[in-house]
Each structure stands twice: as C-alpha cells, then as structure tokens.
Structure 1
Amino acid sequence: MTDAQFQFIRYEVVRGLATITIDRPPYNVLDIPTMEEICVALERCQAATDAKLLVVTGAGNKAFSAGVEVADHTPDKVDRMIDVFHGIFRLLQEMPMPTLAAVNGAALGGGMELALGCDMIVAAAGSKFGQPEIKLGVFPPVAAVLLPRLIPPARAMEILLGGDTILADEALRIGLLNRVFPKESFETDLAAFVEPYLALSRTALLSARRAIRVAADKPFAVALDAAETVYLEELMSTSDAQEGLAAFLEKRKPVWRNQ
C-alpha cells in the first residue's frame, strides 16, 4: 500500500518490506518539512504489523541525500531543525524491525548521518560518503556519536575532523557498508539482498534486533542476561519459534504466522 499523503517522500509497505524514499530531486536535500514527513513515516512504520524490514533510500541516482538544508541552520530555525532531525534517529533506534539504508548516490552531511542511523547500509558503486560540516565551521552531532561505533575511531576522526569524502569501495573496506552493488544493477541487487529477510519470521527478526539493541555497550554478563531475557520471555513463547523448531525436526518448510 502506498501512502499518497506525503509531498516530499514516498512511504509504502509491500510484502513485508517498508520503504521510505526521499523524493526531492535532484539531491534529496533534507529541509524541515521533509524531515517532518520522514518522522511521520517512521512512526507509521513502527506501528505497521506486517513490516519485516525498513529500507530508507533516495529517489533518482544522483544522491541518497546531500544533507540537511543549509538555510535551516540559521539561528531562527536551528533549534527546530535539530529537534526534528534528531527525532528521526530516536525513531530509528526505537524501530522494532531491522533497518537498511540503500544509498544510490551521494550521502553527505545529514544524508550520511541518516544512513549511519540504519542497522545496515548497501550502496551503489561510486556513491560518495562524507561529513563536510567541519568546513562550514560546525560538526555533525549524530555522526560524532555513531561513526566511531561503526568504524575504527581513528578513521572516524579523520572523516569527522577532515571533512573529506570517501567512495563506496573505501567505505566497504573500513566496515561501514554491508555491500557495494554495480550502479547499473543496483535496484535488482537490492531486491535480491532484502528478499531473504522477507522470507523469515517477523517475530524472530524483531526479537533478534531487540536482543542486539538491549545487549549493546553492556558488559558481557549483563548483555547476555538481557539477550537471554528476550529469548526466553519474549521469543520462545511465540508460535513462530515453536513452528520453526517443529519444521526443522519434521524436515519441512516452516509456515510463519508472524506471531
């Protein structure tokens, strides 16, 4: 089902795949109204009982997003801009299902931060990533938090403090990306990448993501207790967990009820 109420984005859920597409050609710049729409779409996705995976992408092939509108950084707008922009990441962190950024062009500034806020990132060959804010006399708060958690801290420092861009192949090499696909087959390769997730139990996917999140940045014993609680108290009482085990023992394909 496609939601036609948005002006600057597209949102739909098809066969368990939720997709938010930033649609402000040619560079999908994130102004305040666009970010407000993204927040609304994320809230709807959180409540979507049929969504197994969320993909965030950009329309066209020039840019995933070239970043937040520079004019929205002025003193009269910056507080609202930061509130809405950072609201996107709070919603992404709270998203029950896994999230994937599909970067099909430049991901710069707030655009790169939006990709960093997702659980996984795939990109078209030749896509550029960068945090150029330092060259404007500012810095990217979200990237300052997330980037050193995702790649070696010294490399994150270089990107954040130097403001330079890197290409998709380099981003893959340092562990920022999951895959790089040829630009000419990006849509086909993206569909093939997400298809295995759509064949899985929604219940298991949500439980696994929750376990990863609740265990993050905790000492091992505390983290294991937290993951164990999700496993025993949330997952193992579900019909899908019982169905998956039964199907394995009976040598048949599981029939998921997604509950």
Structure 2
Amino acid sequence: MAFQLITVEKQAGVGKLTLNRPPANVMNYEMLVEMNQALDDLAKDGSVKVVLVRGSGSRAFSAGVEVKDHLGERMPLTIKEFGKVFYGLRNLGKPSIAVVNGVALGGGCELVAGCDMAISSDKAQFGQPEIKLGGLAPVAAALFSRIMGERKAFEFVMLGDNFSAAEAERVCLVNKVVPDAELDNAAEALAAKFVEKTAIGVKLCRDALYQAADSPRWEHAMQKAVDLGIKTWETEDAAEGLNSFLQKRAPVWKNK
C-alpha cells in the first residue's frame, strides 16, 4: 500500500507508522485518511504483534491538526477523520505505542493519549492549545480524565499551556521518559517485549483492560475480566506457556 504523507514498515513482528509531513508532521485531512487505511491494514496483519507510532525527523512527533482544515467545508470532514484514528487505535487488536520524538501539541498530544502506551524523549513538549484559539480538544476531553484524573485534565484542556516530558510522565500520559539519544533503542526494546509474547494472550489482556476501563460498575468489570481470564487460559498458547515453564524451556507460540 503506497502512502504520500505517512510511511509504514513491518519487520520482525513490529509495525511502524510514521507521520511524514516535515518539519512538524502536522496532520491534514489527507494524512488522516492514510493513517486510517494504515491502521486497518496493521490490524488485519497477523504477522504484526505491536505498532509503534511516531513522527519523522527529530523536531516533532506532531504539532497537531492543520489549522486551515478547521475552517470551511474541510472542518467536519477533518474532525470526523481524526476521530476515526482513535477508533482505529482502539480496535487494533494489538498494543500501540507512541514514540514521542519531539513536540506533541494539539492533535499530536491527543494521538499520544490514544495509544495504549507511550515512551518519550526528555526533550519532548506536550500541550492542548486549542482553547487559546477558541476551540475544544475533543479527544483530550474524552481521554485525559481517564488517564490522569479530572484535576489535571481540566488544567491542560481548559488552560492550554504546554508541559514537559517529565510532567507528562508524572501524570501518566507517557509511561517512560528517556534521554533523546536513547529513544529509538528504548522503543525497540519495549516493542520486543510484546513480540516475544503470545499475540492471543496479549490481545485478551488488552481487551480485559479496556473492558474494565469502560465498565461503570466494579461488578461488571470484574465479571468481564473473569470471563476473559477463562478464555485466555483455555488457549493453546496458555497451555504451551504453562508446559514450557514446567519443562524449563522457552515457549513456542502458535498465537492460538
């Protein structure tokens, strides 16, 4: 599949989706369409066990969604296509990791929030400046409270000030901050931890975590987790994992 504004690579179980609109990797309508096509393809590809999302170059992960695309006839089309990206990430069926190699502002910061995990350069900056333009960051409004709690979500979405990578880690927007020179190796090492595991087991764990997050009642979340726990331990790979442990050998996954 040929793309103009993103690149997609697949190697050794790792899918890499790179926003490629330098210097700031601003997402316009056409890029968002390509991102959704790529996410659909990555979801369907059984050889891919984890997806890394990053920006090209060293300046920016993404500085957001094109300002001009917030005006006129392109505005509703762009916002809808942007929203589809987050459904694509949620329905990926495998972990997604944002690799934040520079500024992540506006829609770029929301893209970090939409991934399952995130690892960041210590030089990265984050922010939701939409309110300063009189607008709303819809995905941040939907996701930030779940990630970091209401107080910080209100602060970042309603004030629109930038914040550091260290602060992003403190409020759990990113899992880990590393020196800028170590970011690529750290991201590859994190992805490798998923590649070595059974894909079906990781998928079911991911499903259980999302279902728990979506459940308003503790009892419902617990029942869903128990049901998925049973389903997970009934898989061929779970049996292989247990037997390999008992036999003191490395497991051979079938992803079944």
Q: Return the TM-score normalized by structure 2.
A: 0.96
Which amino acid in structure 2 is aligned with residue 6 of structure 1? Answer: F
Which amino acid in structure 2 is aligned with residue 247 of structure 1? Answer: S
Instruction: Give how far 1:215 is off.
Output: 2.0
Q: 2:130 aligns with which of 124, 128, 133?
A: 133
Asked whether the 8 Å contact 1:51–1:202 carries over to 2, the reply is no
1:216 counterpart SS class: helix
1:123 aligns with 2:101: no
Which amino acid in structure 2 is aligned with residue 138 of structure 1? Answer: G
1:213 counterpart SS class: helix
Q: Deviations over 1:82-138 (max 9, x none)?
A: 110001011111110011100000000000011110011110011000000001010
2:200 counterpart SS class: helix
Instruction: Give how far 1:214 is off.
Output: 1.7
Q: Percent identity?
A: 38
Q: Could you say which residue in structure 1 is the equivalent of 2:4?
A: 7
Quote the Cα distance in structure 2 between the aligned partners of 1:252 and 1:216: 35
Asked whether the 8 Å contact 1:108–1:132 carries over to 2, the reply is yes
1:61 aligns with 2:58: yes
2:223 counterpart SS class: helix
Instruction: Give how far 1:17 is off.
Output: 0.8
1:236 aligns with 2:233: yes
Which amino acid in structure 2 is aligned with residue 122 of structure 1? Answer: I
Instruction: Give how far 1:217 is off.
Output: 3.5
Quote the Cα distance in structure 2 between the aligned partners of 1:251 and 1:72: 57
Quote the Cα distance in structure 2 between the aligned partners of 1:194 and 1:52: 9
Which amino acid in structure 1 is aligned with residue 54 of structure 2? Answer: T
List structure 1 segments (4+ residues) > 6 angstroms apart after TM superposition. none
Q: Could you say which residue in structure 1 is the equivalent of 2:248?
A: 251
Q: Could you say which residue in structure 2 is the equivalent of 1:37?
A: 34
Which amino acid in structure 2 is aligned with residue 53 of structure 1? Answer: V
Aligned pairs for 1:153-164 within 5 A: 153-164=150-161
Asked whether the 8 Å contact 1:106–1:129 carries over to 2, the reply is yes
The more displaced of 113-122 and 191-200 is: 191-200
* Backbone CA RMSD of aligned residues: 1.1
Structure 2 residues without counterparts, runs of 5 or longer: none
Q: Return the TM-score normalized by structure 1.
A: 0.95
Equivalences, count: 255
Asked whether the 8 Å contact 1:122–1:179 carries over to 2, the reply is yes
1:158 counterpart SS class: helix
Quote the Cα distance in structure 1 between the aligned partners of 2:112 and 2:17: 12
The more displaced of 168-177 and 57-66 is: 168-177
Structure 1 residues without counterparts, runs of 5 or longer: none
